[in-house]
Amino acid sequence: MGKQAAIELKNITKTFGSIIANKDVSLTVNRGEILSILGENGSGKTTLMNMISGIYFPDHGQIFINGQEVVIRSPRDAFDYKIGMIHQHFKLVDVFSAAENIILGLENEGKFNIKQSTSKIKAISEQYGFEIDPDKKVYEMSVSEKQTVEIIKVLYRGADILILDEPTAVLTPQEAQKLFAVLRRMRDDGKSIIIITHKLHEVLSLSDRVVVLRKGEYIGTVETKETNETELTEMMVGKKISLNIDRSEPKNCETRLEVKNVSCVNREGVKMLDSVNFEAKSGEILGIAGIAGSGQRELLESIAGLQKLTEGQILYHNPKTGKTDNLGDKTPLQIRDLGVRLSFVPEDRLGMGLVGNMDIVDNMMLRSYRKGKTMFLERKKPKNLANKIIEGLEVVTPNANTPVRRLSGGNVQKVLVGREIAASPTVLMAAYPVRGLDINSSYLIYNLLNSQKEEGVAVIFVGEDLDVLLELCDRIMVISSGKISGIVDARTATKEELGLLMTKNNGGTTDEQ
Amino acid sequence: MSSKVNKVHEPLFHIAKRTGIPTWLSWLIRILSVAAALVACAVVTVILTGENPISVYATMIDGAIGTKRRVWSLLQNTAILLCISLAVTPAFKMKFWNIGAEGQVLMGGLATTACMILFGESMPSLLLYVLIIVTSIAAGAIWAFIPAFFKAKWNTNETLFTLMMNYIAMQIVSYFTYIWSVPKGSGQIGVINAATRAGWLPSIGGNAYLINIIIVAVLTVGMYVYLKYNKHGYELSVVGESENTAKYIGINVKKVIMRTMLLSGAICGIAGLLLVSGTDHTITRNTVEGRGFTAIMVSWLAKFNPVYMILTSLLLVFLQKGAIEISTIFGLNDSFSEIITGIIIFFIIGSEFFVNYQIKFRESQKGGNK
Amino acid sequence: MIVAFIQRAVVQGIPLLFGSTGEIITEKTGNLNLGTAGVMYVGGMTGVIGAFLYEQSAETINPVLAVLIPMLSCVLGSLFMGLLYSFLTVTLRANQNVTGLALTTFGVGFGNFFGGSLIKLTGSDTPSITLTQTSNCFKQALPFADKLGWFGDVFLSYSFLAYMAVAIALIASFFFNRTRAGLHLRAVGENPATADAAGISVSKYKYLATCVGSIIAGFGGLYYVMDYACGVWSNDGFGDRGWLAIALVIFAIWKPSLSILGSMIFGGLFIVHNYIPNLSMSMQEIFKMTPYVVTIVVLIFISMRRKRENQPPASLGLSYFREER
């Protein structure tokens, strides 16, 4: 089999304002191979692929397909070159059925005929081993069903080059294995597959070659057979980083928070938490692992008073007064008024934790503006706090009056975590606090959490990287489909153990095939 | 050399979002857009009247500030428009699309009318003023509260709800204009208490409108302080920016929505008071003259900043007055001013694009050099 | 009397039906055009201008031209409004609510200005704009309608524009649910990023739908002048029907087929006060409130029910920019 280039990129550059997303990137994808694009969050993987699929347009550089230079101005152009992309955030219309979504955008297919399309969808499903109900509405589907729709959508159009952006982020390991099998079948069919990921084991088990990006720049290409985890990590992060987090033994553990039999439902009435029971102790980090969307968000929001419980209690043992309060039926304001010092770094930083259009000072005020007896705002203390955080956590910003939206992801997170820690909490909850952050910022956050623990705070840390969870936490609780499937000691547990627990209560979906 | 190999059509330019823009540049763009709009208005006027552009502008300026009376009228109209714009601003800052100012003002005006007619004869004047102020504020506030309540409770679409409330208010006013019409059955109220002037806002130093202008000036300062330095003002901008953030820090979003709309409606009620008690001394269903809608544009064009609103409302009223003068002189219909207003606003809202986005031309026209 | 009531209700409802069908098509792509009231004024007025100029210049009135000229000028006028709205909101990504309100100010001003100044501007010697001849051509009903008793009166007594309104609504309904382009159009309104990624040109659909929607809405204005008002233009005569058309969109929960029924109900509510005996002038004003009150009730009702299928298009009111991040 001669290696034939399907796509070739030459010196691609793309900037967003002053941010350089890609700088002089060149790479080649061959026919009949699986190519991994490896890089940390924010290394420009997705931006690069978006330029191939016509979402973005490069500032400089050339794209060749089958040796011909092409200009891809829109997704339609990309389809014409038989390129299809499966985005990390699915691009599906919720109120449409699977079939309607799949045929969306096709125009040269002759008469509009859903039935005919449906049978073609079924044929594709059989060929590659998908299971799908073409008439099911997307808003009724599970994540993995939606992903299936996305993949069929691309195949339906006869794509030869498939790009998958972090396809396993939302899947259970079993579902991921199933997906990999499908992808291998496609490769053997002669298709080119590009998979964007930052998970090393996936790269090693699935791909033929690996392209590594770092901070928007092309670092190199290696054959998977000839490389190993250490080499890839080095390429990805630059210098060798010791993954050692300085973890001390928990001291003076007291039960701070007791979650008893908690259940809740989401807006559609689907049960998101199902009889959850656990304790969080002072002076330790409790990790929460689970597949995205298993109820982590609801759990933290329940504790913070943002989610109505259908049953159960959340008991807080106040170290100052020795009293015990039930937070389960209280609003965030009532919880505060009880003297509960609860800090919460939510997953959605700019949508929940901070206000993007306000400056750093006004964002500091979010927690403290009620202080003072007058009806007017007091901006002096927030301003001092803002400057303290900018200095202490090395926030890169022109000044404290810059709107937070203009800061980079890592700096936004520093502002948020800084504010939450400044409230000297007794319980600190952080949901995916390092998502999208570079290595240095991530470590800064880990160290902050660690020092909070050493000061006797009960830290609850929701993470996605199992390696980090195992090294940072004292205990790890695994949540699956809204239920606690196990709580393990982080010092002795293994990744495999966690992976198994993560998929434990998944009902029927994993058992199929 | 190789330029003929592949003559692919490259897009000439594409649009990118600006990350930041210097303040002076954004204002330059806006000023240029107003200038362009004025040119466009002159072109339209010249086409319709055949007059030369210079005298068109001269006529407009004369119509707006030509005599002392016109200056007062300009200031008075600006004050009313500014007052309604101030009223809608806190709601918009909260991203609550209150397009019901028209109705809220009308209800405030109706309350004033009712007090003047029913108690004008019988009540001592100080008490009458107090009653007028209380009832008109309450009427405007209640009219604004109804849609706010449903928005808070069931997330009912406020744009359409407040819109419908306008027409209900108009019908209620029509109803009362029949009930109180002078002479009976004419469907018109006429000037109320013309002889006694009971319930009329007093003139200061012989200037009938000065008190209106003073009241609105005070309101402008008050609103500026409220939005920038008051805790409630802070809360409503958090709600407007992100409801999730507001909930996260323990703001009761429903309460803020209802409270802000009460304020918005209350100021509309004051505007109604100024219109009926301070200006027209009567009421019809068209008393507000669409200012409730124009105010939205004033507020939006000023980026919800009360100080800038003085400028935008003055600009619009100035042009309206000028356009009306032109139509009077040429015997045309005075709806000409609405056309002019429309054109001005099209230009200004169009110019925001150039503040927020930039056009990047494709630079890699390397052609034959490789 | 019931027959007469139904007839009048239908005649009242037709402008609303045009307006709401046009607005539904526009809103289905995510464009909330609050300028519909202005568009309908412009549609009516440009039709009047066309008819006026034709009546003034022609010796004898050719019925076909008398219908085609106003219709064509109405199309051009409302198309211009649609293009203006699309250019500002789609190309320049301006705020839809503000643009819509400005469009209404402009459109209503345009209608009233030419309504009040047309005679002066053209130097004509007629006292007022009365286009009786043109109106008669528009009002041509089916010849056998009056021979069929009440059935003819209720169903067949209207002019061709009325049947066109119903036909357009039915075609729109078919288009949304049974054609590929309809599917694409709905996708643009529900999730423009998805539609874009699927290779659908979001701008093209938004432009097309808004312009076609405006043209249809403009016919509502034309129908009002030529049929309902018998060719007599009076300033502000069209009143707030444009806003009522927007209300009707909600009443019909974004379904053109439902808006056929809804427009007749609204038309009935609009005139019901004329059919209640011994109603004083003041009470009539109270009765004129009913369409607005009913709309509010419907609005509250659908917001309480929260049924997925009955919700507005998900991206309604928002601009789309592909490189947003």
Amino acid at B323: A
Amino acid at B121: E
Place of tokens 């808003």: A139
Q: Using CB atoms, which residue from C102, C104, C108 is nearest to B346?
A: C102
Element containing residue B113 per DSSP (H, E)? helix B101-119
Residues whose CB is less than 8 angstroms from the CB of residue B208 and which lie 6 or more positions away in sequence, other chains included: none
**Any bridge partners for residue A430, and if so which?**
A345, A461
- For residues C149-174, average pLDDT: 85
| Cβ-based neighbour number of residue A99 at 10 Å | 23
**C82 three-state secondary structure:** helix
Q: Judge whether residue B306 has pLDDT over 90.
A: yes
Tell me if B178 and C282 make a contact (CB, 8 A cut-off).
yes
Least confident of A96-110, B93-107, B294-308, B310-324: A96-110
- Three-state helix/strand/coil letters over C247-258: HHHHHCCCCHHH
- For residues C154-162, average pLDDT: 81
Query: Quick one: CA dihedral B337, B342, B347, B349, positive or negative?
Result: positive
Q: What is the pLDDT of residue B11?
A: 56
Q: What are phi and psi of A217, to 5 degrees?
A: -110, 150
Q: Using CB atoms, which residue from A71, A350, A365 is nearest to B9?
A: A71
Q: What is the pLDDT of residue B366?
A: 38
pLDDT in tens, A325-357: 888 888 888 888 888 888 999 988 888 889 888
pLDDT in tens, B50-99: 778 888 888 888 888 888 889 999 999 999 999 999 999 999 999 888 88
Q: What is the pLDDT of residue A238?
A: 67
Give the mutation candidate from B15, B304, B320, B349 for the C interface (greatest C CB count, under 10 A).
B349
pLDDT in tens, A292-303: 778 888 999 999
Which residues 251-310 of A are in CB contact (within 8 Å) with B?
304-306
Q: What single-letter DSSP state applies at residue C193?
A: H
Domain boundaries of chain C, sorted by first residue: 2-310
Q: What is the pLDDT of residue C259?
A: 93
- Residue count of chain B, please give it: 370
Place of tokens 């899947």: A171
Q: Are A455 and A293 in contact (CB under 8 A)?
A: no
Which residues 182-241 of C are in CB contact (within 8 Å) with A?
183-184, 186-187, 190-191, 193-201
What is the Cα–Cα distance from B7 to A503, expressed in whole angstroms?
A: 54
| Cβ-based neighbour number of residue A30 at 10 Å | 18
Q: What is the pLDDT of residue C322?
A: 65
**Any bridge partners for residue A14, and if so which?**
A22
Tell me if A59 and B238 make a contact (CB, 8 A cut-off).
no
A337 at B interface, C-beta within 8 A: no
Q: How far lies A94's CA from each of A115, C186, C244, C315, in Å?
A: 20, 11, 30, 12
Fold of A5-237: Rossmann fold (3.40.50)
CA-nearest of A280, A203, A259 to A457 is: A280
Residues whose CB is less than 8 angstroms from the CB of residue B201 and which lie 6 or more positions away in sequence, other chains included: B211, B212, B274, B277, B278
**Any bridge partners for residue A68, and if so which?**
A65
Q: Judge whether residue B244 has pLDDT over 50.
A: yes
Q: Using CB atoms, which residue from C178, C193, C199 is nearest to A112?
A: C178
CA-nearest of B122, B80, B116 to B200 is: B116
Chain B environment of A376 (Cβ under 8 Å): 229-231
Give the mutation candidate from A20, A104, A108 for the C interface (greatest C CB count, under 10 A).
A104
pLDDT in tens, C271-303: 888 888 877 888 888 888 888 898 899 888 888
What is the Cα–Cα distance from A109 to A112, expressed in whole angstroms?
A: 8
Domain boundaries of chain A, sorted by first residue: 5-237, 252-341+425-505, 354-423
Chain C environment of B348 (Cβ under 8 Å): none
Tell me: cis bond preceding C277? Omega within 30 of 0 counts: no
Q: Using CB atoms, which residue from C116, C121, C323 is nearest to B335?
A: C116
What is the Cα–Cα distance from A278 to C55, expressed in whole angstroms?
A: 85
pLDDT in tens, C182-234: 999 999 999 998 888 777 889 999 999 999 999 999 999 999 999 888 888 88
Q: Which residue of A has its CA nearest to B244?
A: A352
Q: How far lies B296's CA from each of A495, B58, B84, B213, C236, in Å?
A: 58, 29, 8, 20, 22
- Given CATH 3.40.50.300, say whether it is the number of domain A252-341+425-505: yes
Q: What is the pLDDT of residue B13?
A: 67
The pTM of the full predicted model, rounded to 2 decimals, is 0.83
Tell me if C121 and B336 make a contact (CB, 8 A cut-off).
no
Element containing residue A183 per DSSP (H, E)? helix A173-188
Q: Which chains touch C (3 or more CB pairs under 8 A)?
A: A, B
Q: Judge whether residue B364 has pLDDT over 50.
A: no
Q: What are phi and psi of B212, to 5 degrees?
A: -60, -45
- Residue count of chain A, please give it: 513
Tell me if C198 and A91 make a contact (CB, 8 A cut-off).
yes
Tell me if A75 and C198 make a contact (CB, 8 A cut-off).
yes
| Cβ-based neighbour number of residue A225 at 10 Å | 8
Least confident of A382-391, A494-503, C16-25: A494-503
Q: Judge whether residue A449 has pLDDT over 50.
A: yes
| Cβ-based neighbour number of residue B259 at 10 Å | 19
Which token pair is C191? Answer: 């999730």
Give the mutation candidate from C179, C191, C316 for the A interface (greatest A CB count, under 10 A).
C191
Q: How far lies B123's CA from each of B128, B130, B132, C20, in Å?
A: 6, 11, 11, 50
- For residues A77-93, average pLDDT: 86
Fold of B76-332: ABC transporter involved in vitamin B12 uptake, BtuC (1.10.3470)
pLDDT in tens, A452-461: 999 889 999 9
Q: How would residue B5 be classed by pLDDT, with cut points 50, 70 and 90? A: very low
Least confident of A91-95, A154-158, B357-361, C113-117: B357-361
Q: Are A196 and A45 in contact (CB under 8 A)?
A: yes
Residues whose CB is less than 8 angstroms from the CB of residue A453 and which lie 6 or more positions away in sequence, other chains included: A248, A250, A283, A284, A285, A459, A474
Which token pair is C249? Answer: 């969109």
Q: Judge whether residue B310 has pLDDT over 90.
A: yes
| Cβ-based neighbour number of residue A108 at 10 Å | 4
Q: What is the pLDDT of residue C277?
A: 82
Q: How would residue B169 be classed by pLDDT, with cut points 50, 70 and 90? A: very high
Query: Quick one: CA dihedral C185, C186, C189, C192, positive or negative?
Result: negative
Q: Are B60 and B323 in contact (CB under 8 A)?
A: yes
Chain C environment of A100 (Cβ under 8 Å): 183
Tell me if A91 and C180 make a contact (CB, 8 A cut-off).
no
**Any bridge partners for residue A25, and if so which?**
A12
pLDDT in tens, B185-221: 777 888 888 888 888 888 887 778 888 999 999 999 9
Least confident of A111-125, A178-192, B235-249, C133-147: C133-147
Q: Judge whether residue A480 has pLDDT over 90.
A: no
Give the mutation candidate from B18, B48, B85, B164 for the C interface (greatest C CB count, under 10 A).
B164
Q: What is the pLDDT of residue A17?
A: 66
Q: Are A34 and A195 in contact (CB under 8 A)?
A: yes
Residues whose CB is less than 8 angstroms from the CB of residue C251 and which lie 6 or more positions away in sequence, other chains included: C258, C259, C262, C265, C266, C294, C295, C298
Q: Judge whether residue B346 has pLDDT over 80.
A: yes
Q: What is the pLDDT of residue B6?
A: 38
Q: What are phi and psi of A259, to 5 degrees?
A: -100, 120
Q: Mean pLDDT over all residues of chain A?
A: 84
Q: What is the pLDDT of residue A262?
A: 92
What is the Cα–Cα distance from A61 to A190, expressed in whole angstroms?
A: 27
Give, rounded to a whole angstrom, the gap between the first and last alpha carbons of chain C: 62
Q: How far lies A382's CA from each of A218, A402, A411, in Å?
A: 42, 14, 18
DSSP string, B294-329: HHHHHHHHTTT-HHHHHHHHHHHHHHHHHHHHHHHH
Residue range C2-310, CATH number: 1.10.3470
Domain boundaries of chain B, sorted by first residue: 76-332
C45 at B interface, C-beta within 8 A: no
Tell me if C300 and B154 make a contact (CB, 8 A cut-off).
yes
Q: What is the pLDDT of residue C145?
A: 65
What is the Cα–Cα distance from B312 to B318, expressed in whole angstroms?
A: 10
A381 at C interface, C-beta within 8 A: no
Q: Mean pLDDT over all residues of chain B?
A: 86
Q: Are A368 and B250 in contact (CB under 8 A)?
A: no
- For residues A412-429, average pLDDT: 89
Tell me if C295 and B164 make a contact (CB, 8 A cut-off).
yes
Task: For C133-165, give one letter per residue: b (16+ CB within 10 A) or e.
Answer: bbbebbbeebeeeeeeeeebbbebbbbebbebb
Q: What is the pLDDT of residue B147?
A: 95
Q: Are A322 and A283 in contact (CB under 8 A)?
A: no
| HSE of B224, CA atoms in CB hemisphere, 13 A | 14
Q: Judge whether residue B158 has pLDDT over 50.
A: yes
Tell me if C323 and B16 make a contact (CB, 8 A cut-off).
yes
Is the interface score ipTM higher than 0.90? no
Q: Are B72 and B266 in contact (CB under 8 A)?
A: no
